[in-house]
Structure 1
């Protein structure tokens, strides 16, 4: 039997003969079509960064952020469909609020990720719904330290030292592997994140983008998830553009030789 052209992609609740859920695979394609998001687990916290593609010059700068706070100590960055991402964030906030009400304490990053992953996986089980078209990178600081996780459209999740998703994920992952993780400082991680986002953007430079970076750091933010200061963002972008220009010059020199 073959799973191509036989209607196995019409229902969320039916697997193909070779064990594939085509609706989940289609959701993953929606993630691959969006800008790059990445997370870095550093010595005293986590850094999240997003390349938000600007689809129109009429959009208000800074609107429709793709990095959001779930709880005071946890943030999420995502690639994929914006409405799906916002729904996932709202569910995460509900889970965090419920946990505080039950246990009178902030939810741990691992428990929050586990609950969100279960919520996402439930949307792969029933014919009346479709999978979430987002991959989320969840990072934060709790009593046990800094943590970084990814949640895929299938509901699978893993813990990472560095993670990337979206259109430039392969290039970003290659650059993340070169970092001294998790021993890098939060400020150095911010600059590295900006550089990696600009490097991953090289394949589709015809599209403008906004760079969003946040962090949750014991030394910088007392464990709270916040967007980085404007001056640090400007410095990180300046250094990233400088490195990007130098790489272009080297490529041109190699072509001439």
Structure 2
């Protein structure tokens, strides 16, 4: 996409020179690329003894709800899980790539626990090589010998380690909950409720997110995936019987017309039977 913000001038603030450049390019016939919107809300928080990841379960294609119970949290190693947002095909391929590479790393190094930073660095370098062409982003949560970790890896290769994070089209609403209520050394139950409330906020305020809240709790010695931790958009219940009996709809009038066809050409073929 065309960048409207050129530079940040310390004395004058933002420079909007690129806006004039973009307008001139469009006037000369340049067709700017269209942004592709994907719908998802994922978030994660660190607490006293581990990490909690959360996601919604809605999959969209444009403005169409394609799947209501989609899986967006994936196991990479026993101590590492990722939550993904973006194009489903790219995300599925990257999850398989991460699983195989981390398992090969574990076998080659003869380690029982793969450090979380190993996956973060490997994924970041892989994304950087493709220059943003892989259209997905990940929250990486895990617990290793150095404690709990939560990292964000963007599709261009940039990465950050944060105490709490959220991504996707519902991330703005989810971030308001995280910034207000996160605190150091939370208990596991407090972390689960915080993530569930953040995902709920994203679902309520974003049409691309919906249905249920799935959670994943990663501890030092164990991990647990909780599908359907909270139901937000349940199916409506039928109050009346909407089944229609055969013949219920009456026929008001009926007209039968005989259509006569003119023979324009007639051809008769004889077949000889031996």
Structure 1 and Structure 2 fold alike (TM over 0.5): yes
Where structure 2 has 5 or more consecutive residues not aligned to the other structure, the ranges are 1-16, 234-274
Residues 1:71 and 2:77 are matched in the alignment: yes
Q: How many positions carry a matched residue from both structures?
A: 207
Question: Is the Cα–Cα contact under 8 Å of residues 41 and 146 in structure 1 kept in the other structure?
Answer: yes
| Structure 1 residues 37-186: aligned runs within 5 Å | 37-55=42-60, 59=67, 62=69, 64-105=70-111, 106-124=113-131, 131-186=133-188
Show structure 1 runs of 4+ deviating over 3 A: 1-6, 54-59, 204-208
Find the aligned partners of 1:157 and 1:58 in 2 and give their Cα distance: 30
Find the aligned partners of 1:172 and 1:161 in 2 and give their Cα distance: 15
Find the aligned partners of 2:164 and 2:209 in 1 and give their Cα distance: 25
TM-score (norm 1): 0.70
> Looking at both structures, which has the greater relative contact order when contacts are Cα pairs under 8 Å and sequence separation is at least 6?
1
Where structure 1 has 5 or more consecutive residues not aligned to the other structure, the ranges are 11-21, 125-129, 242-257
Residues 46-99 of structure 1, C-alpha deviations (whole Å, 9 max, x = no match): 01111122547885x64x411000011000001111111111211211221121
Question: Is the Cα–Cα contact under 8 Å of residues 54 and 210 in structure 1 kept in the other structure?
Answer: no
Residues 114-140 of structure 1, C-alpha deviations (whole Å, 9 max, x = no match): 10111111111xxxxx61211100000
TM-score (norm 2): 0.66
Q: Which moved more, 1:40-49 or 1:95-104?
A: 95-104
Which of 1 and 2 has greater Rg? 2
2:41 match: 36
1:247 match: none
Find the aligned partners of 1:108 and 1:71 in 2 and give their Cα distance: 10
Find the aligned partners of 1:206 and 1:172 in 2 and give their Cα distance: 13
Find the aligned partners of 1:57 and 1:132 in 2 and give their Cα distance: 23
Q: CA RMSD in A?
A: 3.1
